[in-house]
Amino acid sequence: MSDKAASAGYPRALTTREIGLINWILPNGSPAYDRMRTQMKETVVLGIGRRGEGELILGRAGELPDISAPLPPVFAYGCLETDHGAISITLRDFLDEQCSLEIVSHTAESVPEAFSELRRWTYSTWRPGSACPQCGQPVREVPMRGEGGDKFTLSICAVDKRIWIFDAVMQVIHLIPVTNFYNELMLHKNIRDPKIALDGKRLFAEHDRYTDVDLAHAFLAYNRLKPRVHIQGGIVTGPQAKKHTWLRRLTQRT
């Protein structure tokens, strides 16, 4: 450990508040969240991440924080709405036995020591049929099933401009960045007009122009390039998917 890191107070243990927020966005009863929480118990705070004050790099004692590797995908996300503004909690996947925990204020340079909590929400507890955890509005749901029987639900919130996938087996939510997903949708639909194909935000205003099959195709192609869930073979979906009548088989592009 460098003298600079030691003089800044690192490594250190997670605080009680940090542990509480981690446990909140990693709820019990999910194989994926349980595994992540267990892995994090073996870590300490090594130092500050590349995103500055508020981002903590967690890893094994004796290591230096690695801020050179690409940022891993978001694993869990939640937000506290307080009398001092919103405070977001972002936890990223492990990469080489280190992970990033970001706790930041949306209205100030640092999170206040004391505040009154008005409301909290997280995607981690969302389940199919529920409203968007952030805005409380209905979401577009695309039910899918892997050929091995695993079930997934792709969701789009047009209000908050978010996409996520729910893995029913692992009981985990993965947030999906819109750009890569939208690119795959445009390729599938053979849409080449730059005004449409390069404007991913159009998806949220125009998602009803695309069928469940279209969106399932886009997700399967996206998941092949940037795996978020494990899918055996292809997936099946269709207009009657919520009634468990799987009408259409989609296969991954090779």
Give the pLDDT score at 245: 40
Phi, psi of 31 (to 5 degrees): -55, -40
One domain for residues 91 and 185: no
One domain for residues 131 and 244: yes
One domain for residues 85 and 185: no
Report the distance separating Cα 48 and Cα 65, nearest Å: 8
Give the pLDDT score at 244: 41
What is the model's pTM? 0.88
SS3 224: helix
One domain for residues 143 and 237: yes
Give residue-wise pLDDT tens across range 101-125.
Answer: 999 999 998 999 999 999 999 999 9
State the residue for tokens 């079930």.
151
Residue at a domain's end among 67, 96, 124: 124
Give the pLDDT score at 178: 97
Total of domains in the chain: 2
Give residue-wise pLDDT tens across range 195-209.
Answer: 999 999 999 999 999
One domain for residues 43 and 155: no
Query: Which range (8-12, 30-34, 175-179, 214-218) has the least confidence?
Result: 8-12
One domain for residues 131 and 211: yes
One domain for residues 158 and 237: yes
Strand partners, 139: none
One domain for residues 117 and 8: yes
Q: Where are the beta strands (DSSP E) in the chain?
A: 44-48, 55-59, 74-82, 85-92, 99-105, 117-122, 140-146, 151-157, 162-167, 172-175, 235-237, 248-250
One domain for residues 164 and 179: yes
Give residue-wise pLDDT tens across range 12-59.
Answer: 999 999 999 999 999 999 999 999 999 999 999 999 998 888 999 999
**Mean pLDDT, range 116-141, rounded to an integer:** 98
129 torsion bin: left (phi>0), alpha (psi -120 to 50), beta (else): left
Give the pLDDT score at 238: 58
Which domain, by its residues, includes 112? 3-124
Average pLDDT, the chain: 90
One domain for residues 53 and 166: no
User: Given a cut of 50, is residue 1 above it in pLDDT?
Assistant: no
Give the pLDDT score at 250: 59
**Mean pLDDT, range 83-103, rounded to an integer:** 97
